[in-house]
Structure 1
Amino acid sequence: MAINITNFLRVSDHIATSGQPSADDFRQIAELGYTSVINLALSTASNAIEHEGDVVTGHGMSYVHIPVRFDRPQVSQFELFAAVLRQQAGSRVWVHCAMNMRVSAFMYLYHTVKQDWPESRARELLLQVWEPDPVWADFIEQVLQSRNEAANTGN
């Protein structure tokens, strides 16, 4: 089954990411065996689907919405995202936002901070979608720095 969703990226057997799927795409996502959808876009995005949670759960998948402002991502949002993704371990999870930019940055951080992937491997996936702008580059650095500070204090 061909997937024709903006910036689709198959990260692993269990995780796929993309820009905003259409209502019909969610049917296909469920048919592909994904059991959960995490949405990082704002519900006011120009390409958002009205009542997306209802559409997703109508196809038998769980739905988590963590709205992340593109101009102001928060470390607490990343931590919530990481906790949700850890909770979904072993499940097939589809993660999206408007264009897969927020998601690719969060996945980069998840892989480097929470999964101990080599930075170069995680960056390769990030760069398949975009080169983070200054806001997101600063955010990434902030999360990495907080991880290093926690490691140095033994937390």
Structure 2
Amino acid sequence: MYSSGLPAKTHLSLLKNQGVSHVVDLIPGDRSQEIVSASEIGLTYFNVPVDWEKPELADFLNYAAFMQGVDQKSDKVLTHCKLNWRGASFTYLYRVNVLGEDEAIAKKDLLSIWQPNPTWYQFMDNVIAHYNAINDTQVAMSFDAYIPEPSS
């Protein structure tokens, strides 16, 4: 699993050469150009349009449903958005909730990219609570939301 900001067409080709076979795009809106670019080089493309200001549990469940159809042993997946904040968050959530990876390890990768703001922290907490309820687990985020300093 990889996450990134918005890749250019040349990046998609490089990723394909490195074994990436699937691209999950979390950007809403007209994504036709990327659909064509991915298709032309033989990448599977999937879009989950996630509203930056209002991410929802259904967004992640849609993402997870696609990811569960991917062969985790042989397929490489790029999850991306504009700046890699959505991408890193979804990758963290999938690793922790679906793959059962250690939260501290996944957290390190997430925080190397960004520290979720209160909106995204709450979204991520809701996703984790959903999976804790259905899997009878006790996963918890071991970091706090980023609260910007008030401007003076």
- Above 0.5 in TM-score? yes
- Secondary structure of 2:11's match? helix
Work out the number of aligned pairs and report it. 134
- Secondary structure of 2:35's match? helix
Q: Distance in 2 between matches of 1:92 and 1:146?
A: 26
Query: Shift in Å at residue 80 of structure 1?
Result: 1.2
Q: Distance in 1 between matches of 2:111 and 2:126?
A: 19
Q: 31, 41, 45: which one pairs with 1:63?
A: 45
Which residue matches 1:123? 107
Matched, 1:39 2:17: no
Query: Shift in Å at residue 42 of structure 1?
Result: 2.0
Which residue matches 2:132? 148
Query: Shift in Å at residue 55 of structure 1?
Result: 0.6
Aligned amino acid, residue 68 of structure 1: V
Runs of 5+ consecutive residues of structure 1 not aligned to the other structure: 1-14
Report the identity percentage.
26
Which residue matches 1:111? 95
Q: Distance in 1 between matches of 2:115 and 2:21?
A: 30
Q: Distance in 1 between matches of 2:128 and 2:14?
A: 35
Measured against aligned partners, the alpha-carbon deviations of 1:9-40 in whole angstroms (never above 9, x if no partner) come to: xxxxxx22110011221121222221111101
Q: Distance in 2 between matches of 1:145 and 1:17?
A: 23
Q: Give every structure 1 segment of 4 or more consecutive aligned residues whose post-TM-superposition deviation is greater than 6 Å.
A: none
Root-mean-square deviation over aligned CA pairs: 1.5
Q: Distance in 2 between matches of 1:146 and 1:101?
A: 21
Runs of 5+ consecutive residues of structure 2 not aligned to the other structure: 137-152
Which residue matches 1:5? none
Query: Shift in Å at residue 150 of structure 1?
Result: 2.4
TM-score, length basis structure 1? 0.80
